[in-house]
Amino acid sequence: MEFPSPSPAPDPPAAVPAWLAERLAAAGGSVPFATYMAWALHDPEHGAYGSGRLQVGPGGDFATSPSLGPDFAALLAPQIAQWLGELAADGPLALIEAGPGEGSLARDLAEQLAAGWPELAARTELVLVEPNAGMAARQRQCLADCPLPCRWSSFEALAAAPLRGVVLAHEVLDALAVERITWDGALWRRQRVALHQGALRLEPGEPLEPQASPQLEALGLLGPGPQRPVGWSTELHPELEPWLAACGAALACGPLLVIDYALEAWRYYAPSRADGTLMAYRGQRASGDPLREPGHWDLTAHLCIESLQAAAHASGWEPIGQCRQGEALLSLGLAQRLHGLQQVQAAGAAAAGPAVLQELSLGTLLARREALLRLVDPAALGDFRWLAFRRGPASALADPALPLFLREPPLA
């Protein structure tokens, strides 16, 4: 998602909804932050995603790359087609999208595949993995006319008959609940969300177990190095490994492309980043207060690249490569696409340019040009990371071609 600056005005005190107050009371007054985050996002009745309340897109709560228009999918489609084509010369294939949001990326990719790679499309089914019923309901509407057969499933159900295909995880891992930890001057403690005098607050909880030490050390949070002041807080990502393991069990063979905002550990856990990366989004506004109006705001934390890589390794994924979104999209032909739009615009009519660019009004052309520039803006979406992994028998994976998104950009 794009990151609007947090409002300079202090957030109003968080009102505690009755459902949350009751649960906190039943839990003895407080719960680990990860439990709170999972409730606030994924509770089927009260959660921001679980209820289907959050809307993705420029007119909704926050914009993501695919929500800016069909060009993102058009640029990504050759990469998906390359991978699907490498996986099998014949037989069924799957394009699995986890966390499809409004469903527009899945729909646009299906349309691109059907139009540009009909032989592959004829063998490919679309599989949507969406645990939140409220979101899945809107995805079904969006995909009503999808040119590929599509179904909704879970990684657990798919594991009964693992698929051969490509998994796409666009801005989904940042919706997994994170653990918040805080330094008390001597120990790392879990942060808890507590009900205190009718309001929510974060408070230090139990110390992290000794088993966490190797992970903390790998992230630069233990041992010699810059000291952090008392109260310095950040996030850990305990749900990554189970998610990647479940995803891996659903896939017999093929790549996984993770696209998300991610930082190297030295940047994520830099002493100067004293309060982690957690942010809340609603109605195109950003807030640094994760306790504000629980169940009405998206809560999201960046990924830590080393934590993701370690979790992927532990769950049997082999890294293929990674780069920033700006570089990936330029390799996939964004500059040529931009140039093509400008040609059509300059001609002042839809008659010129490639067929895909025909029948566009001037307003649409300008909006698409703007969207393309936002996708590669290094201060925003262009700084997202594309991280690819793969799994499967060595015979199926021998010498795959370099992914298109990691190649040198073609000359404009």
Which residues in this chain contact ligand SAM in the complex, by CB under 6 A? 49, 56, 64, 66-67, 98-101, 129-132, 135, 170-172, 175-176
189 or 385, CB closer to ligand SAM? 385
Contacts of range 196-201, beta carbons closer than 8 Å, 24 or more positions apart: 198/16, 199/13, 199/14, 199/16, 200/14, 200/16, 200/20, 200/291, 200/294, 201/291
Nearest to 176 by CA among 262, 73, 95: 262
Distance between CA atoms of 265 and 221, rounded to whole angstroms? Answer: 10
Distance between CA atoms of 80 and 24, rounded to whole angstroms? Answer: 44
Q: Minimum Å distance from CB 64 to ligand SAM?
A: 4
100 or 290, CB closer to ligand SAM? 100
171 or 293, CB closer to ligand SAM? 171
66 or 255, CB closer to ligand SAM? 66
156 or 203, CB closer to ligand SAM? 156
Residue 385, helix vs strand vs coil: strand
Q: Minimum Å distance from CB 325 to ligand SAM?
A: 12
Q: Minimum Å distance from CB 240 to ligand SAM?
A: 11
Q: Minimum Å distance from CB 41 to ligand SAM?
A: 7
Residue 275 contacts residue 233 (beta carbons within 8 Å): yes
* Pairing, β 318-324 against β 385-391: antiparallel
Residue 119 contacts residue 268 (beta carbons within 8 Å): no
32 or 204, CB closer to ligand SAM? 32
Distance between CA atoms of 272 and 268, rounded to whole angstroms? Answer: 10
Q: Minimum Å distance from CB 66 to ligand SAM?
A: 5
